[in-house]
Structure 1
Amino acid sequence: MSPEAVSPRQAIRQFLASLRNPARILVAISGGSDSTGLLLLLDEAVKAAPHLEISLCAATIDHALRAGSADEAREVETLCASHGIPHIVSTWQGEKPKTGIMAAAREVRYSLLAEAAEALNADLIVTGHTLDDQRETLRMREMRTEQLSSGIADAVLFDRRFWILRPLLFSTRADIRTFLRERGVRWIDDPSNEDVRYERVRMRRQISAEPATEMDIRAAWEERLALSSRAAEWLNCHFRLHGCLLGQVTADGLRQDRAVLDYSLGRLTAVFGGQQFVPGGTQLERLLSFAAGGRLGRMTLGRVVFDLRRDGLYLSRESRGIVPLVLQPGETGVWDGRFQARNGSTAPVAIEAAATHSASLKSLGSSPRTGTGEHHFGHLPKAAWKRAIASAPVLSVAGAPLFQELASGIDLTPYFAPFDRFLTRFDFIFADRLSAVFAMAPYAGLPLRSIDGKTI
């Protein structure tokens, strides 16, 4: 066992002791050694500590990508039934993409897990990620960027609804398999785990041949948490939001700590640009040099226009490249990575950028929720505000303005692309503060009462 590793039994005991209870846990189980070990370790520990008021249920996601996957799901179902654990099998239906299959499978997997959690009345989801997975991830990210990575997070909020926790992230696969062998339990070996077409498989083999120097993952996590907290305070003191469309960093805010600026401006760029990931190191270096240079002007980066004025830095979505979205009655979707819309009306509704449509149409600019009517913002630079309004969502039916009775059935709210689908606990403090700035509901809090023995 490596110096950083924790025995699987100890990891599960610590995890259960840290949970707020009563709690119902959904275990994501594929039938592989990691997830099978997770299920049985939890079952053993829960039955040994009934005072904790914790119950288990389980779900298997059949991606239907290879022959035999349905049979494997039935094997898992039998295992769960033998332990009295309620279990659901959810299958990925429909055609599969020709490219990006791993990323698409991940999206579908977590969506189906969330649906299973709702169906089984679970409070949280757990997955069987291990220390081996963490090492592979760190090495892959190390090869892509010089920026320090904190690797796989031990807790991630999915879709603002369910926390996904990883209790075995400091336990090794070898130790989990030893536990299973001692109990005489077999597991399923997924042949894709040996397919060298996948980067993770190649990295796994490389690490096995040349073990990497261990980094202090917990220390990296603490560093990220501290930075998120400082950035949240920076938001409070130095960031202003105008009509959910135009951001402003005060002139004094641009003179703050470089690490905080790097973190904050990177994430604000992703939010205003409607993109899942922050700009890369080189792009951020350009932005920070521009913001600190003192030369007034504009630059575009990550689909965001940055306008440096004497009173600070303004940022808004550039009006180009905004793709329309059509929602059928009852449908929900995300427009431009910036707004989530639900069509509660009886007609198909189109959402487009104001720059491409008549100003007479209903837009967020006249919404009572945001109050972005132009007469409220006469103190802002006209060009900056005009750009922001041009990127606003406009709603129409068959090219015509919405009637009031239809418009009232459309729910349109800000969406944070880097946070609202997958939010790590490292970024939680900053994201939650940003949610408050946008007058949005707070994110769901962690279902934990302690982390690493420290009360939260």
Structure 2
Amino acid sequence: MSALTWKWRASIARKATLKRAGDVHPLTDEEFARACDEINLNEQFAVAVSGGRDSMALAQLAAAFVKSRGLKATAYTVDHGLRAQSAAEARQVAEWCNLIGLRHRTLNWVGKKPTSGVQEAARNARYFLLARAAEEDGIGAILTGHSADDVAETYLMRRERSNSAASLAAMRSEISIAAAAGEPIRMLRPLLSVSRDELTATVKARGQGFIDDPSNEDASYERVRIRQRLREKGAKETTSLVADATEARGSAEKHRQFELNLFKHTGGCFYAWGGASINARLFAEARRDFANAMFRRLLRAVSGEDHPPAMDATMRAAADILRGKTATLSGAIAAPKGDKIWVYREPAALLGRAGVAPILAQNLSDAKPIFWDRRFIIAARDRSENMRVLPLGAKNKGIEKLLFYAPRMALQSVPGIFDETTLIAGPAPLSPWVNGINIRALAQERFSGEIIRFSEV
């Protein structure tokens, strides 16, 4: 999204939020239609509906929009199973959605729940379930009810942890998500310029019921504490934070583009086996703060980890590499060799080490692709009950040519396809299919940040 569009959104958000001090108006169908046109919504879509006031306002607006445009929409409700009332609430949401003409599906997060980091785990599960359902239903876009207040809350939460532009950047109005190895789905946030008070006014004006989740008042959660603080400070504080977050988004996008360009400038190359390389001399000559930021992004891309290493650790690793030393951090290894710096997955992170169990074998069939180590998508044309995916480890003799002249150790963390104990396929640099098996590395996709993949729950 252009800087001009972000400035426009910031202006709208500022005006909308200031209404809280006086006259707050419900959102009209025409205003929502303009927001949908802004994000090019002209296809069948889904609406994420929890039953709260924001999402029920979105459901009402979406129902009117599809009727006016001759489109189809489906409402998805994720039942996280974290509260005794959640199943009954999901049934109530289904009834409301059916009454306004939206097809409804309840998506259940089943299995054991974590005892800590519950909100982050629930978010990851929710996005996985939403993306998988959309792919199953042949739907290319999902709308969420995030508002200007969510932008302000997220910005303040992140500001208390970091002051980097990337950390502080406002939510984007569009991202691409995928359920593990699934196809990318557009996730759209058409209400980022609308205040929560306006959305509350919208549901009340339409006589629409909603459910207030009691966990939204549980001060043991960080977001709830932030929300309470903002409520006490009033609309002007929220407006200011939205403007700051929007400015940070523009800055973060500039930094991202610069890092992508710097990777190319330093002779960066991604390989079918999942690693990457950059030119050592060009990396040494690059401005250090930009080079370190690009290097940090590259480490995350190649390691398969959810988060990049800390910047101070990245800076120390970069300094070691420029002195000719090999560096290991956050599940990745960076090794200077000749005129290149090679970056690849740390074998011990897959094969096992103190405190880290080895990755388990995964069965491969033609039923669905495998999202392996968050670094590869592996698919089979033909069913075989005996095919398994494992890291090659030290048993990789005879296939060194897959890596050309990369460090031999890098081969240990490459996926191999075994039929019983016989290796039948590995990543191929020239042909996408080998022995009916396709192995696609995701390092370049992860480096660009254009698709966010959520692991299966």
Residue in structure 1 matched with residue 313 of structure 2 by the alignment: 283
Change over 3 Å in CA distance of 1:167–1:234 after alignment to 2:
same
Q: Which residue of 2 aligns with 1:175?
A: 198
In the alignment, structure 1 residue 349 sits paired with structure 2 residue 387: yes
Letter in 2 for 1:193: N
1:220 is matched with which residue? 248
Deviates more, 1:260-269 or 1:274-283: 260-269
Partners of 2:41 and 2:302 in 1: how far apart? 38
Q: Runs of at least 4 residues of structure 1 off by over 6 A?
A: none
> Which residue of the other structure, out of 35, 46, 62, is the alignment partner of 1:15?
35
Q: TM-score, normalised by structure 1?
A: 0.78
1:332 and 1:317 map into 2 onto residues whose CA distance is: 21
Q: Relative to structure 1, is the Cα distance of residues 217 and 187 closer, same or farther in structure 2, using a 3 angstrom cutoff? A: same
Q: Map of 1:356-435 to 2, 5 A cutoff?
A: 356-357=394-395, 359=397, 365=399, 372-373=401-402, 377=404, 380=405, 385-402=407-424, 408-416=435-443, 419=446, 427-428=449-450
Q: Report the equivalent of 2:354.
A: none
Q: Is the 8 A contact 1:11 1:167 kept in 2?
A: no
* Alignment partners' CA distance in 2, 1:210 and 1:289: 45
Unpaired segments ≥5 residues, structure 1: 367-371, 433-442, 444-456
Which whole-Å CA distance do the structure 2 matches of 1:289 and 1:45 have between them? 55
Kindly indicate whether residue 366 of structure 2 is the aligned counterpart of residue 337 of structure 1: no
After superposition, residues 248-259 of structure 1 pair within 5 angstroms as 248-250=277-279, 251-258=281-288
What amino acid is aligned across from residue 273 of structure 2 in structure 1? C
The gaps in structure 2 that reach 5 residues or longer are 1-11, 18-24, 351-357, 427-432
Judge which range, 389-398 or 21-30, deviates more: 389-398
What code does the residue aligned with 1:179 have?
Answer: T
How many angstroms apart in 1 are the aligned matches of 2:202 and 2:342?
56
The answer to whether the 8 Å contact 1:277/1:418 transfers is no
Matches within 5 A, 1:51-450: 53-148=70-165, 149-159=168-178, 160-210=183-233, 212=237, 213-214=240-241, 215-238=243-266, 239-250=268-279, 251-258=281-288, 260-290=290-320, 294-309=322-337, 311-322=339-350, 323-328=358-363, 329=365, 330=367, 332-342=369-379, 344-357=382-395, 359=397, 365=399, 372-373=401-402, 377=404, 380=405, 385-402=407-424, 408-416=435-443, 419=446, 427-428=449-450
CA contact (8 A) 2:77 2:93 kept: yes
**Post-superposition CA distance 1:308-333 (Å, at most 9, x none):** 35624222222212133322344643
Q: Residues 26 and 243 of structure 1: is their aligned pair in 2 closer, same or farther, counting only changes over 3 Å?
A: closer
Q: Please name the residue that 2:22 is paired with.
A: none
Change beyond 3 A, Cα 1:402–1:314: closer
Q: Give the residue type in structure 2 aligned to 1:190.
A: D
Shift of 1:276: 1.6
Percent identity of the aligned residues? 25
Hey, what's the Cα distance between the residues in 2 that align with 1:42 and 1:258? Answer: 48
Matched residue type, 1:266: R
SS of equivalent residue, structure 2 residue 316: helix
- Match of residue 3, structure 1, among 8, 14, 17: 14
Give 1:36's aligned residue.
56
RMSD: 3.2
Give the Å deviation of 1:242.
4.6
